């Protein structure tokens, strides 16, 4: 950066002197300033920086702060600032009445300087054709994160009086929500899971984990669809599946089509195609679902995209598929540290955007080596920090995945009696108790349904019709026998 730019960076000598002076004449001024200013980078003038660092040193050692002790600490630091200079600053201040306000102004100047400096450096780098543009974008994002950190560090604390008012509003809202529809967050798409969680809550990080092929994407797509239908915009960041495959799963989940019809065989009768185009294509095309399948796998790329979705569409839910494919360029070399950083940033993103973030995850092969195949928290691959950062950890367990017969098996009596074949295990639930609920997996349609919800029971639908999850039977569409001859799943 040129010397001209450095000399003209945003700053205010008068405000810096006002803050330093307030800290010199009143110990309360020190306390209030330190709540906002965390380090000397808030100051621009080199002498002011040295004086603040001397005051900060005394403060951290719980030593008295006055003209004499600060002058002594400056000498100890081999500072060029003399006693007469700190006396001159202190004489300009009558009291520390406005020190918190002045400190916030200093913080704003600090942020302005950061923006000017990193924009200048990024601009210079952008002119260099040897610099990778995607690395440049990542660098830009990291710099913006640094600015956000400065803002966060400068926030004042909130009294319990204020937090009690927030809690009271929440209790009032929850108390008015009664019965089966008592959802205080966003709907999950399954009444059983809604009863367990009251919906996924803003700021929550939900880890949905299972072995490959267990149905993680299908389960989360039901949540995506349920929110889209009530107008909640959803962002889906897919690192595993391309957008056409993902859209095929969405359609299969929202209709009674077989996934094979949508992605492999197509329709063999004109009326099937007509029904698809007339009934389902327009309806599903209007859902506020936004998909990325070509972005980088770095956490910074996902953060940038999520913030953009939030600004443009006001997304109420973010889904990432899946965790083990996400990296962090700043933590290369140690995969465990990398995953720890990624999971932490997902949690911070959920809090920042005030939305639930659902991240799919693979379980380790350790599950396969045990007689009891039900997943455990220790099966989460690569990092224990996933468990630590998550508000909810959900596992999917399907006995048929391991060729376990549930009919006549005492262990699965309750599941069979409910017409279910899948356990959704809440292995961690920060907002409630752990436990298990049952769902039904329909393999040929790659979807989960709630077996006790009459609106979900596919077996009760007339053959040849498609259920669109809006309590209506629509169209005249093919059943398995029409298309495959014997109706066997694929």
Cα radius of gyration (the chain) = 29
Residues 278, 25: Cα–Cα separation, whole Å: 77
Q: Please give the Cα distance from 138 to 120 (Å, whole number).
A: 16
DSSP state of 293: S
Alpha carbons 385 and 221: distance in angstroms, whole number? 26
CA nearest to 305, candidates 239, 360, 257: 239
CA 228 → CA 94, 133, 282, 409, distances in Å? 59, 34, 14, 39
Going 69 to 74 to 75 to 77, the CA torsion angle's sign is positive
Token duo for residue 157: 């604390």
Can you tell me the distance from the alpha carbon of 148 to that of 304, in angstroms, rounded to the nearest whole number?
A: 13
In residues, how long is the chain? 490
240 catalytic? Reply is: yes
Task: Tell which residue, 47, 88, 86, has the closest CA to residue 67.
Answer: 86
Given 53, 85, 240, 418, the catalytic residue: 240
Q: What are phi and psi of 414, to 5 degrees?
A: -65, -45
Helix (H) or strand (E) holding 207: strand 205-210
Distance CA 359, CA 471 (A): 30
Distance set, CA 96 to CA 24, 26, 28, 30, 49 (Å): 9, 6, 7, 9, 19
Alpha-carbon distance 29 to 1, whole Å? 35
Per residue in 121-153, is it b (16+ CB within 10 Å) or e — as a string? ebeebeeeeeeeeeeebbbbbebbeeeeebeee
- Give the catalytic positions in this structure: 240
């Amino acid at each position: 950066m040129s010397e001209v730019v450095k000399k003209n960076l945003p700053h205010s000598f008068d405000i810096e002197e006002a803050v330093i002076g307030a800290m010199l004449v009143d110990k309360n001024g020190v306390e209030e300033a330190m709540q906002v200013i965390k380090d000397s980078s808030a100051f621009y003038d080199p002498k002011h920086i040295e004086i603040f660092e001397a005051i900060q040193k005394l403060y951290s050692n719980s030593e008295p702060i006055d003209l004499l002790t600060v002058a002594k600490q400056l000498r100890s630091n081999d500072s060029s600032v003399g006693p007469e200079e700190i006396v001159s600053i202190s004489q300009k201040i009558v009291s520390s009445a406005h020190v918190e306000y002045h400190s916030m102004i200093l913080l704003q100047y600090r942020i302005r300087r950061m923006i000017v400096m990193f924009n200048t450096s990024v601009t210079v780098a952008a002119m260099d054709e040897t610099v990778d543009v995607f690395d440049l974008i990542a660098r830009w994002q990291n710099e913006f994160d640094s600015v956000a950190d400065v803002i966060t560090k400068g926030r004042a604390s909130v009294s319990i009086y204020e937090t009690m008012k927030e809690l009271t509003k929440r209790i009032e809202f929850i108390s008015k929500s009664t019965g089966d529809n008592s959802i205080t967050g966003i709907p999950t798409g399954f009444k059983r899971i809604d009863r367990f969680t009251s919906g996924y809550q803003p700021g929550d990080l939900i880890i949905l984990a299972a072995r490959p092929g267990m149905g993680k994407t299908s389960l989360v797509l039901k949540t995506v669809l349920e929110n889209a239908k009530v107008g909640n915009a959803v962002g889906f960041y897919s690192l595993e599946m391309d957008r056409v495959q993902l859209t095929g799963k969405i359609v299969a989940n929202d209709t009674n089509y077989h996934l094979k019809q949508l992605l492999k065989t197509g329709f063999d009768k004109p009326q099937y195609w007509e029904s698809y185009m007339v009934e389902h294509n327009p309806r599903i095309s209007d859902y506020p679902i936004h998909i990325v399948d070509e972005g980088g796998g770095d956490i910074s790329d996902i953060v940038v995209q999520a913030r953009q979705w939030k600004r443009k569409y006001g997304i109420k839910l973010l889904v990432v598929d899946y965790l083990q494919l996400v990296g962090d360029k700043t933590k290369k070399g140690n995969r465990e540290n990398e995953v720890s950083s990624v999971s932490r940033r997902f949690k911070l993103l959920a809090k920042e955007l005030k939305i639930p973030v659902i991240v799919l995850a693979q379980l380790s092969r350790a599950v396969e080596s045990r007689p009891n195949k039900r997943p455990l928290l220790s099966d989460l691959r690569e990092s224990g920090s996933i468990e630590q950062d998550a508000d909810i950890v959900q596992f999917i367990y399907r006995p048929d995945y391991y060729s376990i017969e549930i009919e006549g098996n005492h262990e699965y009596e309750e599941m069979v009696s409910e017409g279910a074949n899948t356990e959704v295990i809440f292995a961690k639930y920060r907002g409630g108790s752990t436990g298990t609920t049952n769902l039904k997996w329909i393999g040929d349609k790659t979807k989960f349904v709630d077996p006790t919800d009459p609106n979900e029971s596919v077996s009760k639908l007339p053959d040849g019709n498609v259920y669109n999850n809006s309590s209506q039977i629509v169209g005249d569409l093919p059943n398995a026998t029409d298309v495959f001859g014997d109706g066997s799943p694929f």
